Structure 1
């Protein structure tokens, strides 16, 4: 029997959610139901798994349990990049002679993008929710410029298209002369993450049932099936897909194998688009690992700038208002350095979002108990990797031996973490060192 010792906590108001119209959540579970498969977690991994299950067998009875409301968790706090290429632009990610492995990773990422593209087509979404516009990696100085050039060379090795931009050219895109160079890659999709995940959640009907504000409190073996208990009900199901990322550890699973890291974001008030030149919608990741992600978001009431930076290790899976305020001060400095013409523009929203990482950078995936399939630990780039992991978990749960399932089964097991207090000391020092190394970037 697996019993949760804590429920998810989310602090700070995500601008993505607040900018959307109010939504009536699906009812919580009240009573007993039966299902073929229960999906625990209503984020990228869980809802992608449910979608794949319904594609493979439309008659399959699937129950999705979301502890809170859709988009209120980590998914609605994402920066909204569904990336086809490795997230960082350092040459280590493409590893010279390891070009075949990089092509392999790119194929996995594009399977995730394909699911999102199909959903966007079905829903008739515009670019305000789903924009296949590609992304930029931007540099703010000589160190970042070197990484941009190195990344371009690695892309050539794997035959991926790109375009290099000098300072003047990237200024034409961003409206600011702060960036010294950039590289553009066309395959990334930019989403409004809260709107995307709401749309995916609201696409289910028929044999797929979603219950919000319904945390799984425990699950235990009952003969050949599983009984999942919630605050006011229970489900009896043959199989479970565990897609609640770091919260899996609250059930005692993957103990000593998951690193709980939070990243932080701030979003400005809406401003008159005439105050900033360039394109009204673009997205950029940093040229240097652990740098600053920036997006310009076009809206009916004006445009906004998103700044995401700062990482902290939080083994108790919670953050404080003080930590968000501290990160916000960092964001303000980063914002002013990039957009001095907007330095008087205040931030309207600040929030934190959880990530689950493993020591060796692999997902926690597979059949961990008879009938329980895990799609855990996205290791960052959650919109892409969690989506792919959810698809693979769905296929594995139905006994498929697809290429994607083989890929995820081929990963090594998550490496055990060092004991405390060495883990906290080491993780905190490592994050601080990487952020310091990123410098202005």
Structure 2
């Protein structure tokens, strides 16, 4: 939607078609945990920041995305429970505490603010005594992602036509691009692929994009008594110190969201059996953290795909003479989807600036081994990662 909105603005005399296979909000854009994160977080670097020049550019991209979203939410009165409560990165294992210490040194290099929360003070913040240490950073925005993307869809410029429930079943390149669907076809002078791992279904970036599914459950709203039993702030978001740990949110309507568990689904579809297995893991994670309200039931459980690459990079730019892409957000869909979609439209309009040049010149997603070795390797890595997360999961 960011790309379509900016295209419509930059090319006001052109017709822009936005094609969605499902309904807006039903895919990962509406199913994520609602963190609009500002800080870079390079899990491959010892201090989780890495090259300081690259980190500063990633920080600039993320903050630009936040500004775009704040402006759109304000201008179009999108009710998506936006709040500026920052995020906590919390640890229980020794390895997780070491991650927080390393990340602190990286944030010092970057000059970004943080606060260390020791174990005795964590319950007053988060309503749980489970964690040993937390690192609070104030720049993250939290929101309700489905409400956001539905509001963005409802406020698209007049020269954008949104077609929902229109999965593309065939594709032909040429002077015009032809997209076939169940009821006919669409011809366009230019095609922008902003569909993450599904770009490979169009024949591009094959064996470079990894659709990694993660799963979440959310409780019913807590009663006043249950809220009093756990205490803590009214709303917050926790990301784990270990990459395979548990993400948590307390939402403005007093629900607790629990996200963990991972699977590699090459076809990009949820495995129904994984939902029941993940829900059992969510229940264990919830009860460990909130024993005072352990009987609160989950109201919903779901899964959604992230697009990752083996070298943690994205793709931005041309794929063919009239086809371009901004894909592979590596788990930062709200920020990266917003800014790369916007900048892709600006680039097609002829703009060049430091951020566009950075994206164009960045390494492309690394090639992966062929099947069946890919699935065996990725699933083994996911299993091992979750095992090593220990109590962080």
- Range into which the TM-score falls when normalised by the shorter chain: over 0.9
Tell me whether 224-233 or 160-169 shows the greater mean CA deviation: 224-233
Select 2:261's aligned residue among 291, 299, 310: 310
Aligned length: 389
Residue 346 of structure 1: aligned partner: 297
Pair 150,91 (structure 1): closer, same or farther in 2 beyond 3 Å? farther
Assess, with a 3 A threshold, how the Cα gap between structure 1 residues 90 and 185 changes in structure 2: closer, same or farther.
Answer: farther
Q: 1:292 pairs with 218, 237, 246, which one?
A: 246
Give the equivalent residue in structure 1 for 2:39. Answer: 85
Is 1:111 equivalent to 2:64 in the alignment?
Answer: yes
Partner of 1:331: 282
Deviation at 1:89? 7.2
Q: TM-score, normalising length from structure 1?
A: 0.84
Task: Describe the shift of the 1:89–1:237 C-alpha distance in structure 2 as closer, same or farther (beyond 3 A).
Answer: closer
| Change over 3 Å in CA distance of 1:426–1:221 after alignment to 2 | closer
Change (3 A) 1:187 1:90: farther
The two structures, once aligned, show a CA RMSD in angstroms of 1.9
Partner of 1:59: 13
386-395 vs 284-293, greater mean Cα deviation? 386-395
In structure 1, what is the equivalent of residue 199 of structure 2? Answer: 248
Correspondence 1:215 to 2:167: yes
Once the two structures are TM-superposed, the CA of residue 85 in structure 1 deviates from its matched residue by 0.8
Task: Tell me what 1:206 maps to.
Answer: 158
1:221 to 1:322, Cα distance in 2 relative to 1, 3 A: closer
Contact 1:371 1:397 in 2 (8 A): no
CA contact (8 A) 2:20 2:166 kept: yes
Pairwise CA distance, 1:245: 1.5
The 1:84–1:95 alpha-carbon spacing in structure 2 relative to 1, beyond 3 Å, is closer
SS at match of 2:385: helix
Q: Are 2:379 and 1:379 aligned?
A: no
**Equivalent in the alignment of 1:19:** none
Per the alignment, residue 30 of structure 2 pairs with 76
Within the candidate set 314, 320, 325, 1:369 is matched to 320
Cα distance, 1:227 vs. partner? 2.8
Question: CA separation of 1:234/1:420 partners in 2, compared to 1, >3 Å: closer, same or farther?
Answer: closer
Contact kept? 1:91, 1:154, Cα under 8 Å: no
**How far 1:90 moved relative to its partner?**
8.1
Which of these residues, 374, 379, 382, is aligned with residue 431 of structure 1?
Answer: 382
What residue number does 2:141 align with? 189
What is the deviation of 1:396?
Answer: 2.3
SS of the residue corresponding to residue 150 of structure 2 reads: helix
Q: 1:99 aligns with which of 46, 52, 57?
A: 52
Tell me how far apart the structure 2 counterparts of residues 272 and 250 of structure 1 sit (CA, whole Å): 46
Partner of 1:7: none
CA distance in 1, matches of 2:352, 2:27: 31
Spell out, residue by residue over 1:157-208, the C-alpha distance to the aligned partner (whole angstroms, 9 max, x if none).
1100111111232211111211222111111111100000000011014211
Q: Distance in 2 between matches of 1:137 and 1:345?
A: 24
Deviation at 1:91, TM superposition (A): 5.7
Decide whether aligned partners of structure 1 residues 386 and 205 sit closer, same or farther in structure 2, where only a CA change above 3 A counts.
Answer: closer
Once residues 350 and 180 of structure 2 are traced to their aligned partners in structure 1, the CA distance between those partners, rounded to angstroms, is 26
Between the aligned partners of 2:36 and 2:318, the Cα distance in structure 1 is 26
CA contact (8 A) 2:57 2:355 kept: no
How far 1:95 sits from its partner (Å)?
A: 4.8
Relative to 1, partners in 2 of residues 1:397 and 1:233: Cα closer, same or farther, differing over 3 Å?
A: farther
Matched, 1:139 2:94: no
Specify whether residues 91 and 377 from structure 1 end up closer, same or farther in structure 2 by C-alpha distance, changes over 3 A only: closer
Structure 1 CA distance for aligned equivalents of residues 71 and 328 of structure 2: 25
Seen in structure 2, the aligned counterparts of structure 1 residues 211 and 79 have a Cα distance that, compared at 3 Å, is same
Residues 400 and 217 (structure 1 numbering): CA distance in 2 closer, same or farther, change over 3 Å?
A: farther
Which one of 278, 281, 293 corresponds to residue 232 of structure 2? 278
SS in 2 for 1:92: coil
Checking the alignment, whether the CA contact within 8 Å between 1:296 and 1:306 is kept in structure 2 is: yes
What's the offset of the Cα at 1:92?
2.7
Alignment-derived partner of residue 118 in structure 2: 166
